[in-house]
Structure 1
Amino acid sequence: MSYQKIAVVSGASSGIGAATARSLAQAGHHVYALARRTERVEALAKEINGTPVTCDVTDDAAVAAFAATLDRVDLLVNNAGGAIGADPVATAEVADWQAMYDVNVLGTLRLTKALLPALVASGAGTIVTVSSTAGLIVYEGGGGYAAAKHAQTALVETLRLELCGEPVRVVEIDPGMVKTDEFALNRFSGDTTRAAAVYQGVEHPLTADDIATCITWTATLPHHINIDRMVVRPLAQAAQHKVHRV
């Protein structure tokens, strides 16, 4: 008997999360669009015939309460995350590092732990975690974000080992330069000049839709195929420090 697959997407109020929710809905999933901003997820859920969920992944009780409402989950996309600041280690704000760790790493841990029993029970579950190329290499001014993303990558790799033999795929997506409406603005506290400088001269940075396409592809392959890690950069970005600008 066929059924509509259930997907949960965190950080769904904007950027990659919102694009992924749309892409998965188009692919036939019923999407639970999860984020802190109620109005955003309500509008998105209405657009894609999904279910809005107001939830902060840094809140243990909120995540547990959400998980308790679900009877079935086939796909979890851990997308909630972000960067704060670009200070060198010598002048870094400890609170910024704590905040990045809490949302990127512990947010992924909370949601994964809460939904893992349902993913296993589905008989064909998939967990896709959106990390970053910053989880694979460091760069000046990116210590806090790179530390959090390295930890997130370690979580994913460990989880894959621990779930060997269970019917759950574990996928990691590592985007490079992606231009979205909010990521760089949030990183630089709304400073539009600094945010724009990140992408200056790059003709075709990746978009949220590009990453959503990658996520949907990995999640809709035959279930015996596991894409362990997908590193996705724009053509102009050969490496973290090698970007062609015109």
Structure 2
Amino acid sequence: MLENKVVLITGASSGIGAAAAYVFAREGASVVLAARREERIAALAAELNDKGFKASAVVCDVTRAEDARRAVAHATERFGRLDGAFNNAGIGGDQAPLHEMGDEVYDTIMDINVRGLWNCLRAEIGAMLATGGGAVVNNSSVGGLVAIPTAAPYVASKHAVVGFTRAAADEYARQGIRVNAVAPGLTRSEITTDWFARNPGIEDAINEATPQGRTAAPEEIAEAAAWLLSDRSSYVTGTVLPVDGGYVNR
């Protein structure tokens, strides 16, 4: 599905991003792994290369526009162009009633989830326009489609991801660039495993509210992103695809 495509993955050091690196590589893509944790992405790139795939790593803090530009430049210099991008970097943040939230929580979430996406989209779209088009998938959340109690800044940031997705899809469709988003439900990762440990019973409660009754594996989200990045979804743009076990369909 991604044969001979060059795909940049942000937030690639763990969770959905690391799973996407394997899924995309198995589909035939040359993958560029971007994240802040240099040792993690370097080790993952080495593992992929040892298995016969094509991978490269670049340190990137998406909140810094120069880092986003450098990651895209790394992809084009290493593999010749940029065909796709999975903008996966993001955080959840602490949960509390809105009126008790501190400015630092809001600022951190918005800086990573919204400004980070803004920085990446500008760099990625510029590179894709130079080579005739491409595909972008942004990682939103069910929190970008419905409310989540005690998570107002996170919900607002993930709604912003949806807004960026739809705006960019409309703006660049005639120039050969498709922009879509996935909206994952509860997905197992380092972050959620720690969250489960700090909040006993929370996973069971969310799964009880999910029609499929379970937590997703990160590979399941990555598979959906792979389809949206591939030519098999060539007539799909501006779409936000829930990958949530039916959570938002309750």
**After TM superposition, is the score higher than 0.5?**
yes
Matched, 1:8 2:8: yes
For the 8 Å contact 2:8–2:75, the answer to whether it is kept is no
For the 8 Å contact 1:179–1:199, the answer to whether it is kept is no
Matching residue of 1:22: 22
Deviation of the 1:16 alpha carbon: 0.4
C-alpha distance after superposition, 1:144-183 (max 9, x if no partner):
1001111111111111111131111111101112122224
Ranges in structure 2 where 5+ consecutive residues have no aligned partner = 50-54, 208-212
TM-score normalised to structure 1 length: 0.87
* Matched AA of 2:202: V
For the 8 Å contact 2:146–2:248, the answer to whether it is kept is no
Matching residue of 1:192: 197
What pairs up with 1:134-145 in 2 under 5 angstroms? 134-145=143-154
For the 8 Å contact 2:10–2:17, the answer to whether it is kept is yes
> Partners of 1:26 and 1:217 in 2: how far apart?
13
The 10-residue stretch of structure 1 (69-78 or 197-206) with the greater mean CA deviation from structure 2? 197-206
Matching residue of 1:230: 241
Matching residue of 1:179: 188
For the 8 Å contact 1:20–1:209, the answer to whether it is kept is yes
For the 8 Å contact 1:84–1:145, the answer to whether it is kept is yes
Runs of 4+ in 1 over 4 A off after TM superposition: none
Give 1 or 2: higher helix fraction. 2
> Partners of 1:23 and 1:119 in 2: how far apart?
22
What pairs up with 1:82-231 in 2 under 5 angstroms? 82-183=91-192, 185=194, 192-194=197-199, 196-200=200-204, 202=207, 204-222=214-232, 224-226=234-236, 228-231=239-242
CA RMSD of superposed structures (Å): 1.9
Equivalent pairs, count: 232
The 10-residue stretch of structure 1 (110-119 or 10-19) with the greater mean CA deviation from structure 2? 110-119
> Partners of 2:69 and 2:133 in 1: how far apart?
22
Matching residue of 1:37: 37
Counterpart of 2:67 (choices 40, 62, 71) is: 62
